[in-house]
Chains A and B, each alone.
Chain A
Amino acid sequence: MFDSNQPVEQPQNVTPAPSTAGPNLAVQLEHLMLTAPLQQVELNKNARARSLDDKNLFDRVDMRYLAVAALEKIVDHMAIGSGILEKDLVAYLRELVRVQAPDAWDNDQETVATAILDGLRNGGRSFSGSFFNGTKTVPHDFRLILTATNPNGELVFKLTDKAIALIIHALRVSAPDHQAILELMLKESIQKGLLGQAEEQARAALRNSIRFQEQINDMLEAARRRVGSISWVRDIQPLCDQALDHIVSTIERERVLLDQIERKRMDMGNTESVATLDRLHATIENCQSRHSRLRKTIHEAGEKWRNTQISAFRSRTARRLPDLDADILPRLLEIPLEAVADAANDITTALNPPLIHSVFDFGGILAMLAEPPAERPAEREAEMGPERELPPPPKRYPEGMRAAVLAWLEAHVGKIPTMAGLIEEAAKDGKPIEFQELVFYLLEQAIQPKLLPTLPQSTDLTGTFEASFVSGDDITYSKEAP
């Protein structure tokens, strides 16, 4: 708990951040400035030309390419020894000049190679510059190449830490190359006793080994998924061989590093340094075991992939189905929309199991009912027997009743004005119910002839009863005026 009465100890020598400070971009700007010498050798190449011929030669050569190649070459030699002899580096650069300018003379090749070395070495002086780090402008002096003597006493070129940082960060090397460079820096740091720096480099090497492992696993997984469409020998085997070469050399470098750390540990009296070396040892061991596992994975990958491929092709039948992804789908997409719509039900039916339709298809039923029967009379006759004439419907009213009703109506219409009265009168006269019905129909027919089609078919209503009428709830009839 803070006691407000106690004075708070103020940190010493801390400059308060100015309120107008921008973002700190020191690391980015440092890396950017490291590329300046590579750009300058290209931009200033014509200044090195002493004659028109020289100018023509420099115009045909990409100096940036040669500068980067020179840095890579020095790194390679640092990994296997202590550096590269000047004559070896010049010979290498001359070869590369010849690639770009095959007709260049030997002394011209040497002119370009020397120009590259001068540009990268800056005559043994530091490159000087400055950049704004967000709060202030700071100077930034660096060298890319330094000279040292090898165990034979010969003068060799080596890269500075800055140049190695340039290769790793600004020039984006591959994971295996990055690993080699990191372990190279690590070796140098341990030799110089810069254990804090070595520990940071070891952690970077471990992160990079994880990145490399992921890249390899991704590549193998992609190969497994496309087992039918890639060639192991053409597409994957070279990458695996390359990765294995890197891994074998990496494991060897890590073994050397571990030996170096163990020797250093025996010489150390400082407990803190011993602890740092132990952590370094553990980190490098972690890298080494990761690379060993990766080597095993790559060794087994070819066999596994071949087994997958064998199983994929094992049951090849004489009539193979088409590939849906590579064959059918692309061709289907090129069909006009209307044609796909026409085939939509075929496709849907083919890709789904049968279905019991739970709802009646009324449209289908109506269409079926509306469809005429099959035009196969012979078959139908054999099945159903010959078609027979339907018997005429029985007559509902006895023969002559219509005439009797008409006569009866002639006698009564006018005397009895309404339909109800006429039917009542017929009942009083003892006429049967059929007679009364016929009275009703004939009176209805008299006023509404179109009712006829709706009358029972068996009703014999030939002939009409002529009448005039007065409208009302109960129809009033009168004889038609002559």
Chain B
Amino acid sequence: MTRFSAEHFRTASRLLFWALKPKQRPSGNREYADLVRQYQESALVQEALEVLVAEQSMVLLDVDAADGVMLAADRQSPYAFTVADMRSRAGNKVAAVLATVMAAIAAAFFPTSDSIEDDENPLPTQRPSEILDVLLGAIEEKERLAKAGELPDDVNHIWRELARMPAEAERREDAKRDRPNLSSLEGTIFALLKHMSDNDLITAPDGNNVIQARERFRRQLKRHGSLVLLKVVQDSANTQSAE
């Protein structure tokens, strides 16, 4: 029978402590690096961390020396990142737009399952304008289908809400122009990219406005995000067919 000691759980708890600070990496933190090494060497620490993570309704994505402990949260977890963490008092419309645009950003960076699943692929780069093009292309396709009568007119699909939003953010000369504004698709993309950069899923834009996905983002989609998105669209399809 497995015999955990308090030391195993202390190590696992400290790993969890650092895992909840995504900007921290083993390379810049001696204690964290040592904890990761202990994790890799001890099956008991690995098991203890899995227990701790699972009991917090989280998923252990991976642990490595470069990115440290990578976690994803379930909706029930006290650590779940929700719409309210981006916009407090967000109404239904804003919440739906934010969630959809976030999925579009993921699709722009990782369009195919291969790009998510193959760890040997280089991490992809995107510009905000290219992400906007992906989203606009998907909306235009829906508009084309709607014109051809292949989509019902009487349902307020989320694409209709997105199509009503201006594509580009209003350019203002005053100091507020850099503040993310959710009234346009471009502004929403900027706001979400800022959050994702703060959460260490992507890099900040470089001088050419190019953003690179981080390994954490790929793992997040590979082990958790893609499956949740698939479940959302499948559940919706089942509901609509039942109606």
Residues of A with Cβ closer than 8 Å to B?
A: 228, 311-315, 317, 320-326, 328-341, 343-357
Contacts and interface: CB of A to CB of B under 8 A. Distances in A.
Given A329-B107, A344-B83, A323 B228 contact: no
A308 to B, nearest CB: 10
Contacts, number: 217
A412 to B, nearest CB: 64
Interface stretch (B44-52, B136-144, B204-212): B136-144
B226 A340 contact: no
B134 interface: yes
Contacts of B75: 345-346, 349
Interface in B64-80: 70-75, 77-80
A352 to B, nearest CB: 4
Given A315-B120, A321-B230, A354-B80, 10 more contacts: A311-B120, A312-B121, A324-B110, A328-B107, A330-B138, A338-B92, A348-B102, A349-B73, A354-B71, A355-B85
B196 A315 contact: no
Given A320-B117, A350-B72, A344 B236 contact: no
A339 B155 CA distance: 11
Interface in B219-241: 220-222, 224-230, 232-233, 235-237, 239
B103 A344 contact: no
B33 interface: no
Q: Is the interface of B mostly helix, strand, loop or mixed?
A: helix
A275 B58 CA distance: 77
Given A353-B199, A353-B201, A354-B72, A336 B111 contact: no
Contacts of B237: 331
Contacts of B80: 345, 349, 354-355
B98 interface: yes
Interface string B122-133: 000000000000
Secondary structure call for the A interface = helix
B156 A337 contact: yes
B7 interface: no
A329 B138 contact: yes
B234 to A, nearest CB: 9
B106 A353 contact: no
The list of the 4 closest CB pairs from A to B, nearest first, reads A325-B111, A350-B228, A354-B79, A341-B92
A349 B226 contact: no
Interface centre among B86, B107, B112, B221 (most CB of A within 10 A): B112
Interface string B1-38: 00000000000000000011110000000000000000
A359 to B, nearest CB: 10
A355 B23 CA distance: 11
Interface stretch (B158-166, B167-175, B176-184): B158-166
B106 A331 contact: no
Interface string B177-219: 0000000000000000001100111000000000000001000
B159 to A, nearest CB: 4
A149 B162 CA distance: 69
A333 B22 contact: no
A344 B95 contact: yes
Contacts of A345: 75, 80, 82-83, 95, 99
Contacts of A351: 102-103, 106, 201, 220-221, 225, 228-229
Contact of A347 (B22, B102, B138, B157): B102
11 contacts: A312-B118, A320-B113, A326-B112, A329-B138, A332-B103, A333-B138, A333-B142, A334-B151, A345-B99, A348-B86, A350-B72
